[in-house]
Amino acid sequence: MKKVILFITILFSVILLSSCKEEPKNYSASFFDYMDTFIAINIVADNDDEAARHFNKIREIYSKYHDLSTGYEPLATNSPFLTNIYHINQTVNQTIEIDIELYELLEVAEQYKVLTQGYFDISIGKIVDIWKAIILEEQNGYLFSDIPAEIYQQVIEQLEAIEVVENPYTLSSLDGKYYIRINHEDVKLDLGAISKGVATEKVYEYLINEGIEYYSISAGSSSISVGKNINRDTKQFHVSLANPVRTGADDRTYGILKISDTSITTSANYEQYALYQGLRYHHIVSPKTKMPMHYYHSVTILGADSGFLDALSTALFSMPPEVFQAWLNQHQNEYPVEIVRFNYDTTISTFLNTSIFEDLR
């Protein structure tokens, strides 16, 4: 009898404890202060305190990579970091010490430059700035319709005066310290095409290490990483692809990707551009020509490592179709990426293996 009473007591205690445990639920957070974009995070956590802890860590990651990679402002006087891209760009032909995180970011950027045959190049910031200035003027209403021919010609003359340097900077390390030297006055480092992706990848790694299975990270519309979707039986997220040539309210998207446990990055010309003779001149500039190219309206890449996808989408966007295809033929087995490409003639090309793409047009 005592054994029966003891068993019933233990069983009742287990039931009582189980009923008191909180069920996991969805939590969301948004950040506006980093990477010049709106960042939205959704996770499934056991309780409020756990969710708050994760969001604080995620904020720290984006804050760190924003501070290190920004080219628009110096570090705060109380910053824990040695220097940032803004300061580096002011110190040509000088060797300066940098933090290991920034060193690793610059090092991987060099690797991607080699991998993409020079189509990804963070050293052409002065060239990118020229095009951004024209785009800003157009968007602020100073230019109407197409860029005037005389202004376009001025831009071409400015570009001709800037050299794309073969060895733009030198990285070195000694006794656990890390250094960079800008090697030419025409070099200006711009990490806008990789830093957001790298930060998003660091957030992904943190969530996985914390055992979080259900999550989504959206660093703007261009850099997304998702786990499993707790709200669907398929565990998939349905990611809409923005239509870059929409003409009405009913064609805002041209397709949907149904995915889980992957990252997506898009490079596109439809958010920042100015027109000249009917063509879009945007902020994604080819290091080969110093010009925005007109092969595609958008290139969306799926795969692992948001930092790699960020750099690769930028590189592929400037590649002519035959170079694009040759790169895939050579590297797609080694780097298993999948691609949906919205071409300039409004056709769609897909390079998919397992991902599901639904064409909505």
What is the 3-class SS of the chain, one letter each residue?
A: CHHHHHHHHHHHHHHHHHHHCCCCEEEEEEECCCCCCCEEEEEEECCHHHHHHHHHHHHHHHHHHHHHHCCCCCCCCCCCCCCCHHHHHCCECCEEEECHHHHHHHHHHHHHHHHCCCCCCCCEHHHHHHHHHHHHHHHCCCCCCECCHHHHHHHHHHHHCCCCCCCCEEEEEECCEEEEEECCCCCECCCCCCHHHHHHHHHHHHHHHCCCCEEEEEECCCEEEECECCCCCCCCEEEEEECCCCCCCCCCEEEEEEECCEEEEEEECCCCEEEECCEEEECCECCCCCCECCCEEEEEEEECCHHHHHHHHHHHHHCCHHHHHHHHHHHCCCCCCEEEEEECCCCEEEECCCCEEEECC
Provide the pLDDT for residue 8.
Answer: 39
Apex 319 CA angle, 313 and 323, nearest 5? 115
Provide the pLDDT for residue 67.
Answer: 98
Q: Which amino acid is at 123?
A: S
- Other CB atoms closer than 10 Å to residue 305's CB: what's the count? 21
Give the CATH number of domain 34-359: 3.10.520.10
Provide the pLDDT for residue 301.
Answer: 98
Q: Output the tens digit of pLDDT for each of the chain's 361 residues.
A: 444 444 334 344 344 444 444 688 999 999 999 988 999 999 999 999 999 999 999 999 999 999 999 999 999 999 999 999 999 999 999 999 999 999 999 999 999 999 999 999 999 999 999 999 988 775 555 444 578 889 899 999 999 999 999 999 999 999 999 999 999 999 999 999 999 999 999 999 999 999 999 999 999 878 999 999 999 999 999 999 999 998 777 789 999 999 999 999 999 999 888 899 999 999 999 999 999 999 999 999 999 999 999 999 999 999 999 999 999 999 988 999 999 999 999 999 999 999 999 999 8
Provide the pLDDT for residue 220.
Answer: 84
State if pTM tops 0.85. Answer: yes
Provide the pLDDT for residue 189.
Answer: 98
Give dist(CA 359, CA 361) in Å, integer: 6
Provide the pLDDT for residue 221.
Answer: 77
Provide the pLDDT for residue 138.
Answer: 57
Provide the pLDDT for residue 148.
Answer: 86
Nearest one of 118, 132, 104, 101 to 168, comparing CA atoms: 118
Which residue's structure tokens are 């997220």? Answer: 237
